[in-house]
Chain A
Amino acid sequence: EVQLVESGGGLVQPGGSLRLSCAASGFTFSSYWMSWVRQAPGKGLEWVANIKQDGSEKYYVDSVKGRFTISRDNAKNSLYLQMNSLRAEDTAVYYCASTSSQCDYFDYWGQGTLVTVSS
């Protein structure tokens, strides 16, 4: 059974940093692109970033470029999102998701972790 379990969310002040983790099991993690998708409270879904199987390619939505960094450790079956210079508008539930080879859909999702940016 595919499982994706996010952790690392919490309350952080504006300008602060946070590192999210996603532990994967039940599939060959190293064979999949992986992504982060977020959802602000009461709002819609927003793709945030994705990373190629070997970590050699990374892509970001414009609003997080230069502030967020996606990474992975295939030996630990884990995906990460380092978030710096956090803003109030980054407040959201962050989901990790396994991603198709064409990066055109997200087939399995974690339960999400809530990040709240507030003073």
Chain B
Amino acid sequence: QSALTQPRSVSGSPGQSVTISCTGTSSDVGGYNYVSWYQQHPGKAPKLMIYDVSKRPSGVPDRFSGSKSGNTASLTISGLQAEDEADYYCCSYAGSYTSVFGTGTKVTVL
């Protein structure tokens, strides 16, 4: 149950695209199509942005997209906006009804 690996930070200018990687193992990310992503603003609860690798809940802008290749999942934010500045966490199902989160990535809008 080791945390998934994410870059500590990524940044981009408004309108640009940024991609956050999330690396696990064949026991979690690589073993299931059950990766989710969460956005967390300071002092707030996390918010679900992507589930099942690439599905968006109702109300989440289509600027947010997810993908997976092997043991690495990715979240891409296109057309970066000021309100996208936040911490982002990936999460993967890890079998036997357990889950493991990523280390978290701070997105900065320059």
Contacts and interface: CB of A to CB of B under 8 A. Distances in A.
A95 B89 contact: no
A104 B68 CA distance: 15
Given A105-B48, A105-B51, A109-B47, A44 B89 contact: yes
Contacts, number: 69
A44 B98 contact: no
Interface string A48-68: 001000000101011000000
A36 to B, nearest CB: 11
Interface string B24-42: 0000000010101010100
Contacts of A45: 38, 40, 46, 89, 91, 101, 104
B98 A59 contact: yes
Interface in A87-107: 95, 100, 102-107
B9 interface: no
Given A44-B89, A109-B46, A103 B99 contact: yes
Residue among A62, A104, A107 with most chain B CB within 10 A? A104
Contacts of A57: 97
Interface residues of A, number: 24
A44 B47 CA distance: 14
A27 interface: no
A111 interface: yes
A72 to B, nearest CB: 15
A104 B54 CA distance: 13
A69 to B, nearest CB: 16
Interface of B: 1, 3, 32, 34, 36, 38, 40, 45-48, 51-52, 57, 89, 91, 93, 96-104
